Amino acid sequence: MVETNPRERKFRFGVLANGDPEGTAQQWKDLARRAEDSGCSTVLVGDHYLTPLAATARLAMAAAVTTTLRLGSYVYCNDFRHPALLAKEAAELDRLSDGRLELGLGAGWLRAEYDMVGLPFDQGRVRADRFQEAVGLIRRLLAGETITHHGDHYVLEDYEPAALPVQRPVPMLLGGGGPRMTRFAARHADIIGFDPMSLPTGGKDEREFGHQPFEAKLALLDDATAAREDGGPERSILIFDVARHVDELPEDAWTGQEVAPDSPYALIGETSAIVETLLERRHRWGLTYYVFADEDFEVLQPVAAALADS
C-alpha cells in the first residue's frame, strides 16, 4: 500500500542513462544490472533527437537482463509520436518486463531538436493542449478501451488497442515545469517529475533552479491534490548537479555556486551530508524519488544504499 502522506513515503532512486555513442550492448546491460544490484529502483532513458540513446530499444534490453529493476522513459516527447503508437509501445514494454514500466511523458521543450528535424515548435499553450489530450487518450488505451475520438489535435476512429499492459494502470510520470503542467500532473499523474520551467523559446529558465520558485510549485501541487484521497502523485525530481563540495561544480553547472547549496536540483556534500539533506527535503518538501545521471552513480549509489527501505 502506498503511503498517502508524501512526507512519509519511502525513498526511491533512478539512474538516468545519458549514453556513450561508442558504448556496446554489454556496457548497457552492465549498467542496468549494476543499477538493480545497487539498490536503485529504476533505470531511465530520455527521448531526444540530440542524444544517442533510443528509449524504447534501451528499455526493452534492460528488461531482458533484469528482474526487479523498473524501467522509465524520462520522458517521451509527446510531439514525436501519435498517442496510439506510444500507448502500443508502452503496453509492449510493460508486457515484456512483466509489469515494470513507468511511463514518463512530456510536452517537449528543446526547440533545437524540433528545428533540426523540421517539426514545428508551437507555442507553449498549444504543446500543452496537445500533451493533455494525448495523456487522456493514452490512459484510456492502456486501460483497454476502444476509442472513437475527434479532438483538437488527434482523431481516432473505432481504434482498438493492439496490446494491453500487465499493470493496470501503468504508472505515469508527468512533468511539473510551469504552473499549468504542475496542476495537470497533480490531478492526473502517478508520479510528478519536477523540472525547471521551460522558456517560451525553448530551453530551461535559469531563474527556476532556486528553492523559492520550487516552493511556489509545491504550493500549486498541494492545492490541486487536496481532493485526491491517495495523497497525490509521488514527488520526483531530476538532479542536475552533484559535487562533494560546492567549489567543485563546473563553470557551466546549471545551478552555480550561489544557488546550488539550497537548490532542490543539486546535491552537495559527502555521503552522510547528502543523506541528511534528502531526509530534510522529504520532511520539508515531500520529495522521495530522485533521478540522477549515470555519471553521478559513484557519488550517489552509497546514498541510495544508505536510504534503502527508509
The DSSP code sequence of 172-206 is: EEEEE-SHHHHHHHHHH-SEEEE-PPBPTTSSB-G
Which CATH superfamily does the domain covering 7-306 fall into? Luciferase-like domain (3.20.20.30)
Tell me how crowded residue 27 is: count the other CB atoms within 10 A of its CB: 12
Distance between CA atoms of residues 234 and 83, nearest Å: 24
Q: Per-residue pLDDT for the chain (310 aa), expressed as one digit of tens each?
A: 567 899 999 999 999 998 676 789 999 999 999 999 998 999 999 999 988 899 999 999 999 999 999 999 999 999 999 999 999 999 999 999 999 999 999 999 889 999 999 999 999 899 999 999 999 999 999 999 999 999 999 999 999 998 899 999 999 999 878 899 999 999 999 999 998 887 777 677 788 899 999 999 999 999 999 889 999 999 999 999 999 999 999 888 888 888 898 999 999 999 999 999 999 999 999 999 999 999 999 999 999 999 988 9
CA distance 18 to 15: 9
Strands (E), the chain: 12-17, 42-45, 70-73, 76-77, 101-106, 147-150, 155-159, 172-176, 191-194, 234-239, 241-243, 266-268, 289-293
pTM above 0.75, yes or no: yes
List Cβ neighbours of 265 (8 Å cut-off, separation of 6 or more). 196, 209, 214, 237, 238, 239, 240, 241, 254, 255
Please report, for the chain, the start and end positions of each structural domain, with discontinuous segments joined by +: 7-306
Backbone angles phi, psi at 294, to 5 degrees: -60, -25
**Residue 126, burial from CB neighbour count under 10 angstroms (0-12, 13-18, 19+):** middle
